[in-house]
Structure 1
Amino acid sequence: MSVIVRESMDYDVVIVGAGPSGLASAIRIKQLDPDLSVLLLEKGSEVGAHILSGAILDPVGLNALLPDWKEMGAPIKTPVKSDSFVVLGPAGKMRIPNWPMPPLMSNHGNYIVSMANVCRWLAQVAEGLGVEIFSGMAASELVFDGDRVAGVVAGEFGRDPETGEPGPAYEPGMELRGKYVFLCEGVRGSLAKQVIAKYDLSKGKCPQKFGLGMKEIWEIDPEKHREGTVTHTMGWPLGGNAGGGSFIYHLENNQIAIGLVVHLNYENPYLYPYMEFQRFKHHPLVADLLKGGKRIAYGARAISEGGWQSIPKMVAPGVALLGCTAGLVNVPRIKGNHNAMLSGIAAAEAAVAAIKAGRSGDELADYEITVRTGAIGKDLKKVRNVKPLWSHYGLTASLLGGGLDMWLNTFGLTAFGTLRHKKSDAQHTGKAKDFKPIDYPKPDGVLSFDRLTNVAYSFTNHDEAQPAHLRLTDPTIPIRVNLPEYAEPAQRYCPAGVYEVISEEGKEPRFQINFQNCVHCKTCDIKDPSQNITWTTPQGGGGPNYPNM
């Protein structure tokens, strides 16, 4: 194999990922010292193209970063006006009163937003301050200088789709080096995964837990639209098969965001999260709302759910993990964007202080301390037992025990100490012989849709002349192990129809990867029971192109 020679460029800070944490860190660095050079890399075709979130934004992070964001014209226009929690049965519903809810669960003062559009706006602010943003530039490798992370390789194109070796039109990309590298890749980042393993950053921590969030945007009948209305549901259709819940947010312009989150620690390998989402829309509560409307966008992504006890060590020599890469989501609140921004601010302040002190490439210990002892740590510690209670004892225990614990935490107390997550989501997957297949209704094409039709509404595109970015450690495992033992759940847990088992008469079944469909949710990297699939970055610009998610 020939040695690849690459040009290099040096910066003070290199940031991978233009989500809320990456953009907040870039802006804060420039606010503190306009002379520092900051490079922000985004693998999507543009900033916001790969951003998918519910989303209700707690503005605490934005207030700290840009206190005058309203005057600056931020695309944040819809305050929450009505907030309800509902437990669903197959045909009925029961509303949970708001009064027994812990104060932290209130959405008063929060906003319904498109985080994709918020990030597009933050990118404009960052560029106005002198941040260099390179879109369509996937960071595919880490660059090391001794034991420290010194940069990343980005912009590599043209590897042969069959061999993976450089092809005739190969472009080697560049080494983009920084005194510090911030990894803001979102959930299960491919570079962060390597850093966590190399430096053993999860030692002594609980396994990280995840959910799969699927979302559609609908344009509905104006007579049914109630701008600022927020509804969260639990119970049906998941019931005892899986934890999770739904959200319905009324945006501007007669649009709603509707979605379902399925906790990925479910046991039944026949569970089909995407079809659970489609079935959910046929509940009378939802069907009546959607009748006469039209779906205009679809997407999916994994969500970190481990909380306080699953946060890895966030720093290693030369590198820091920010936002969802570190797992800073508050699960019961279904919010992580505020903590992502706060982590970006904290990382920026630590890096600027280090550079001014003449340091480079060490561990940013001050960042770690700020996250764990400051607003982020306080936010996550209050809710640390809700997810473990749900995982171990079910929805009712989580509602009652978790609610009690959140109330006690308001006064600095707890009923349970800190409960632990015991197994990864992959390890929770049960054997097919112990479960029965689930009979899902066929999508009707009006309220519910087949997977491939819906993926078209994510506007996903990948150049087919590249190696598949979804890599099997052992290509025989899907048919030899996963199919007989687990009914190969990749056919079902993927919300984009990437994985298929092809059965033809007279032939052995074969496993097919349709990587062109991938919406970069990374569920396969998380849930595969054999941990045989590794998600890596495709060539820059590939993936979904979310317009308003």
Structure 2
Amino acid sequence: MRTPETLLEQHGPREAMDYDVVIVGGGPAGLAAAIRLKQRAAESGAELSVVVLEKAAEPGAHTLSGAVMDPGPLTELFPDWKERGAPLHQPVTADQVLFLAEGDGTAATPAWAMPRCFDNHGNFVVRLGHLVKWLAEQAEGLGVEVFPGFAAADVLYDDQGRVTGVATGHMGLGKDGQPGPDFQLGMELRGKYTLFAEGARGHLGKELIARYRLDEGREPQSFAIGIKELWEVPAAQARPGLVVHTAGWPMDDQTFGGGFLYHLDGNLVTLGFVIGLDYQNPWLSPFDEMQRWKTHHAVRQHIQGGKRLSYGARAINNGGLHSLPKLVFPGGALLGCDAGFLNAARIKGSHAAIQSGMLCADALVDALAAGRAHDELSAYPEAFAASTLHAELKRDNNFKQWFKKGPLIGKIGFGIEQVLLPRLGIDTPPWTLPRTTRDHEALKPAAQCRRIDYPKPDGVLTFDKLSSVFLSGTNHSEHQPAHLLLTDPSVPVRVNLATYAGPEARYCPAGVYEFVPDTAAPTPGAQRLQINAQNCVHCKTCDIKDPSQNITWVSPEGGGGPTYSGM
């Protein structure tokens, strides 16, 4: 197999384009930063070139979120967003927080005990992919160059170790890594500063955090997997603006997780289940837990008789304030969920992404005006520390850690922080619950855990993985190299299958990993791991949860992956 260096020697040099700012990721954070940069430049009359790279075929096609959105940061970015036609159509009309028990048992949280993080007054139920598409249009209208279908594959560094841009992935490589007849060399996009807004567990962000030790002295980041469906329901069942969150069943007391169900306009319901990736039982399947959750009466009553329209899955950050890495490094910064700004207690990240993008853009404009380039934007973390976003994350920082202690202690501890302390005039808890374990370290050997046998899907309310992936519109070129890399190909069978009963086949929500008979092995009954990379919905769960940390997610060809429509 040819190495990238050999490809450059034979086909290079790569074409290069120079900008003031290069932004990797066309989601809320990256686009907000680009827009703010152009707004600030227009105010001062300065010329500022900005490019946004988005690996999806079009803006919003890889965007997946609940989503209930706090419009505050968007209003700061565009005070006239209503007049501009931003797709925030459905205000929240009611909140419910339910605790579910097996057998359709349901207990509703009374209004007086409702945690303030679940108060969605003034928020909107949105289809975030539609909002991202709208943001891309606003950015382009301001002169931002938005390049969809271009996946940033490599970070560029200078001799001093500073980030100077990124290189896009090569197109037209065969499975063996060699150029095919349609081969095109990737190109370099160079910037005075490069911002990374790839979403949770961004593969370049992961590289930067390791290279510059940005997480040194921080608590380890923690993640969850969110599995989501979009349904069209009978008009009689539609309750536009109703927001429902659930805890309890089907999770056991040792597993962090819960459901969400939001009524949009147009007889649409978006629902999903979130499970912390620090779960212990390797027999657990997040996809099947979500399907099982839908059978509870409290959920079923909203979608029964409806039609499932779309499906998707995505890892999300939920480590909180003390898991945030250092945000800056020479030549660039981390934005949004690439850093981990999502507020798990509020189950909201889009407002945080937008605000982080604006905070960074303000620091960057001042740096460029001062003639600086490729240094650390220290004003960005300083501005974050003084921001309302920092105060919000600090206030809700203990959410996951309380509920890791069990439902009863979680309700008491977090209730004290969210209900009692505010009534005593204390806005922020004076304590922090620490966490030291990484998600992949939590998995126990299969022999020590209860096996979970999930019911077969009925094809009406519950479904299998492959029919679900079909609804995600996922597609990858059959001939490209696999973008899911094994450091040691023997580990999946020798370690993961032997010790953990092959958790890859269960934690992946898209059927990418299968253990199948190894007909070439001399030992009867031997198995091997088959990787169906074409099914990958880019959720990054495998990169996070693999107990051996043997799987690395890298960018496939640009334009591949899911094609979500307003998810």
Range class of TM-score, shorter chain: over 0.9
Within a 5 Å distance, the mapping from 1:271-420 to structure 2 comes to 271-391=284-404, 393-407=405-419, 410=422, 411-412=425-426, 417-420=431-434
- Give yes or no for contact 2:129–2:565 (8 Å, CA) kept in 1: yes
Distance 2:300 2:113 in 1: 29
Report if aligned partners of 1:408, 1:414 keep a CA contact under 8 Å in 2. Answer: no
- For 2:564 and 2:337, the matched residues in 1 are separated by 19
1:209-220 counterparts in 2 under 5 A? Answer: 209-220=222-233
Question: Partners in 2 of 1:545 and 1:52 — Cα distance?
Answer: 10
State the 1:321 CA deviation: 0.2
Is 1:6 the equivalent of 2:14?
yes
What does residue 546 of structure 1 align with? 564
Q: Distance in 2 between matches of 1:195 and 1:504?
A: 38
Cα distance, 1:488 vs structure 2: 1.2
For residues 291 and 413 of structure 1, what CA distance do their matches in structure 2 show? Answer: 41
- 1:500 is matched with which residue: 492, 495, 514? 514
- 69-78 or 404-413, which deviates more: 404-413
Q: Which residue of 1 aligns with 2:23?
A: 15
- Report the TM-score, using the length of structure 1 for normalisation: 0.98
In the alignment, the residues of structure 1 paired with residue 139 and residue 408 of structure 2 have an alpha-carbon distance, to the nearest angstrom, of 45
Task: Give the secondary structure class of the aligned counterpart of 1:99.
Answer: helix
Give yes or no for the alignment of 1:514 onto 2:521.
no
Give the aligned partner of residue 76 of structure 2. 64
Runs (4 or more) in structure 1 with deviation over 6 Å come to none
Q: Select the residue among 142, 146, 155 that pairs with 1:133.
A: 146
Q: What residue in structure 2 maps to residue 450 of structure 1?
A: 464
Per the TM alignment, residue 303 of structure 1 is displaced from its structure 2 partner at its CA by 0.7
Matched-pair contact (CA < 8 Å) for 1:385–1:416: no
Shift of 1:148: 0.6
Aligned to 1:149: 163
> Alpha-carbon deviations, 1:292-328, whole Å to 9, x = none?
1110000000010000010000100001000011100
Structure 1: runs of 5+ lacking an equivalent: none
Q: Structure 1 residues 305 and 409 mapped into 2: Cα distance closer, same or farther (>3 Å)?
A: farther
Higher mean alpha-carbon deviation, 167-176 vs 314-323, is at 167-176
Matched, 1:240 2:253: yes
Aligned length: 547
Other-structure match for 1:481? 495
Is residue 206–residue 421 contact of structure 1 (8 Å, CA) maintained in 2? yes
Shift of 1:242: 1.7
After TM superposition, give the deviation of residue 403 of structure 1 in Å: 2.2
**Corresponding residue for 1:530?**
548
In 1, the alpha carbon distance for the partners of 2:563 and 2:537 equals 9
2-structure distance, mates of 1:447, 1:74: 33
TM-aligned CA deviation for residue 507 of structure 1: 4.5
* 2:199 aligned with 1:186: yes
Q: Distance in 1 between matches of 2:441 and 2:312?
A: 26
Question: Structure 1 135/431 Cα, relative in aligned 2: closer, same or farther at 3 Å?
Answer: same
**Structure 2 residue corresponding to 1:82, chosen from 76, 94, 102:** 94
Cα distance in 2, alignment partners of residues 277 and 459 from structure 1? 20
Aligned to 1:99: 112
Shift of 1:436: 2.3
Measure the CA separation in 1 of the matches of 2:179 and 2:111: 59
Matched, 1:123 2:141: no
Select the residue among 43, 49, 65 that pairs with 1:53: 65
Mapped to 1, the partners of 2:406 and 2:450 lie a distance apart of 20
- State the 1:55 CA deviation: 0.1
Structure 1 residue 166, shift from structure 2 partner = 3.5
**What TM-score, normalized by structure 2, do the two folds share?**
0.94
Is structure 2 residue 438 aligned with structure 1 residue 424? yes
Supply the AA of the counterpart residue of 2:492.
P
Structure 1 residue 167: Cα displacement: 3.7
Q: Is the 8 A contact 1:221 1:293 kept in 2?
A: yes
Aligned-residue offset at 1:493: 0.3
Matching residue of 2:32: 24
Percent identity, please.
51
Rate the CA distance shift 1:504–1:171 in 2: closer, same or farther, 3 A. closer
Q: Is contact 1:85-1:98 (8 Å) kept?
A: no
Distance 1:335 1:262 in 2: 15
Taking a change above 3 Å as real, the CA distance of residues 483 and 350 of structure 1, as seen in their structure-2 partners, is: same
Counterpart CA distance in 2 for 1:213 and 1:439 is 21
The yes-or-no answer on 1:33 pairing with 2:41 is: yes
Q: Distance in 2 between matches of 1:470 and 1:242?
A: 27
Deviations 1:99-124 (A, max 9, x none): 22343431000000001000000111
- Contact 1:405 / 1:416 at 8 angstroms: preserved in 2? no
Q: Report the aligned-residue RMSD.
A: 1.3
Aligned partners of 1:432 and 1:487 also within 8 Å: yes
| SS of match in other structure, 2:360 | helix
